[in-house]
Amino acid sequence: MEKISVAIRFRPPTPTAVDPSSDRIWKVEDNRISLHWPLGTPISGVSFAFDYVFDQSYNNTMVYDPLIKSIIRAAINGFNGTAFAYGQTSSGKTFTMNGSEEDPGIIPLAVKDVFRTIEMTTDREFLIRVSYMEIYNEEINDLLTLGNQKLPIHESLERGIYVAGLREEIVNSSVQVIELLKLGEENRHFGETNMNTRSSRSHTIFRMVIESSARDSMESEDVSNADAIRVSVLNLVDLAGSERIAKTGAGGARLKEGKHINKSLMILGNVINKLSESGKQRGHIPYRDSKLTRILQPALGGNSKTSIICTVAPEEVHIEESRGTLQFASRAKRITNCVQVNEILTDAALLKRQKQEIEELREKLQGSHSEVLEQVILKQRNDMHKSELEREKLAMELEEERKRRAALELCIKDQQKKLEDLSSLCTSDYASVSIQPKKSSRTMLDDASVSKHNVLRTPNFKAVGDDFVMKRPSCFMELDSSPTLEAFGNTADEDLWMQLNKGCITDLDMLQLTPDIKCQPLPLFDMPHEPVLNEDAGSKRCHSLATECDFIRQQLEALREKYNIMETECTLLNEENFSLFGALSLSKQENEQIRAEKEELLDKLNEEKQKLKELKKDIQRFSLEFVKKTGLQVALHTKLKEVSEKMKALKVPSDG
């Protein structure tokens, strides 16, 4: 984590705007800015502290060295870097970033520093690509190509956030880059206002993409960095200044431009406010509300080393705008970025890193005991056995669910078949009832005018044989209280009548014939028919069966969901089982390899021990021989000494 560096730069006061009777003035003491009354009394609540504070005596080079130079070094080494100027209109942002021929700004100084550092770096090869864009009225235009306007912003895992269709030039020298900067400045939008004769009407972003790779990757001592391509992005941003219409006097196109500028700067301030809050209080960060904040998203709370230069106008007439700029800078100072090297690894680099990791693991395994590895393998086997048991259990449950599902589907098919049969029956009964023609009034009168002889005759009564006196309807045969026909004889005697009448004795003399009834004409109306009642009962039955079928369908859906969940769990367990099998096989292979290496080392150790024993024997033999030879030399020396003494003794008398 790295905090954003924030610096404040005061431009020289404008002679026309200097007021000798100013009530308030800014004072700078040890990178701290405070607002004072003319007599030197500080105004409470208006005091700010920053990393750097540059007054009117500092030129662009003096601003560049402590603030931007480290970002250029980091960009060469693979870190993303961003530097931008913020402030009100006519406060010196464009001069700080672009400068002049006598006092070059941050952008040309950075370009020269990049190529100077590349020339000094001999162990890596570099490829530099540059692009130059502006955001004018919330539209992205390419400053290096005329007509290439309204470009969209895209995002991908490989490139991150980028502008699609933007022209990128491959450059080899700082002179070539300076020429492209001049071309872009000619295409940039400028305008005249009451506060500035050449006011920037758009935000500009100059981008350098720096790619580098090791020159001799095969001979590189650092295997982890071999064949790794570093890709860093350096953004140098010149923002348009915030402005008040009452001071600038803008109208027409200038007014529209000022609205877009103020809106994008307001969204930038909102993003800074959100990022400066603590993690618990921080809500949604509105990067996408403006194209400026969207492009600068990696520099604000992302993967980039960032420096912000806030330019301030010292005149009292601009005190409120200057206070807002200082508050913006104070909030930005609390932002932290997560900075890391951007590397793209080739296949060779990945293989080398994997080999290095394997060698490190081998060294650790050789230095550790084999019992630890066996315990790890045993644990993996136990885990695999548990997962196998769980998989078998789930497979059994799945088989049971499949059987239940098949039985439920058969039941649903039967219910559907019954429903179809019942529906067809109800439809046919209703059709037969509806197609019967209504009887005419004459027919109904004829049917009602029966003869006296047929008054007591039961209609639709089927004739039976003479061997039966009476017969009960078949619909009453199932009642428990009704006697069956087999219980009666062929002749109805008095006991049978008593049994049928349940003990009641009927006086036959009291029975009289019904007198002739004059049939009145029946009113013409539709009588309810039995099929209609059958239709109502059938519809109720259909409704109940449909409800039951819906309930069964719901159960089937629930079972299907449970089946799918269990099948997913079974698949996951199978994958885990396969991974455990793979890990176990790899562990076995590594164990076998380690054992083989261990045996080989033991054999070599035994050979060395044997050689050591032989060497000890040789040393003992040589020591014995050396002792013998030493004894012989001592004896010889003693003899020589005696001989010499004798010779001396012989020489003395002869001399005398």
SS3 per-residue string spanning 16-55: HHCCCCCCCEEEECCCEEEEECCCCCEEEEEEEECCEEEC
pLDDT class of 507 with cuts at 50, 70, 90: low
Largest interatomic CA distance in the chain:
212
Q: How many Å apart are CA 36 and CA 9, to the nearest integer?
A: 18
pLDDT, one tens digit per residue, over 210-263 is 999 888 654 455 545 556 789 999 999 999 888 777 777 777 888 888 888 889
- pLDDT on residue 643: 86
Name which residue leads in pLDDT, 24 or 317: 317
- pLDDT on residue 419: 78
pLDDT class of 522 with cuts at 50, 70, 90: very low
Contact 217, 111 (CB under 8 A): no
Name which residue leads in pLDDT, 19 or 451: 19
* H helix or E strand, kind and range, residue 162: strand 160-163
Which two tokens mark 549?
């079928």
Contact 83, 325 (CB under 8 A): no
Look up the pTM and report it: 0.54
The share of the chain scoring above pLDDT 90, in percent, equals 25
Mean pLDDT, the chain, rounded, equals 77
- pLDDT on residue 504: 55
Partnered with residue 225 across adjacent β-strands are: none
Contact 142, 221 (CB under 8 A): no
Mean pLDDT on 409-436: 70
Mean pLDDT on 87-95: 89
3-class DSSP string for 401-434: HHHHHHHHHHHHHHHHHHHHHHHHHHHHHHHHHH
Name which residue leads in pLDDT, 470 or 74: 74
Q: Is the pLDDT of residue 171 over 90?
A: yes
Mean pLDDT on 164-185: 93
Q: DSSP assignment of 450-488, as one string?
A: --GGGTTSPTTPPP--TT-S----GGGTT-TTSPPGGGS
* C-alpha distances in Å from residue 636, one per residue of 633, 640, 642: 5, 6, 10
DSSP one-letter code for 318: G
- Those residues with Cβ within 8 angstroms of residue 155's Cβ, 6 or more apart along the chain or in another chain: 161, 162
The answer to which of 48-62, 78-92, 601-615 has the lowest mean pLDDT is: 601-615
Contact 500, 489 (CB under 8 A): no
- pLDDT on residue 374: 65
Q: How many Å apart are CA 216 and CA 226, to the nearest integer?
A: 8
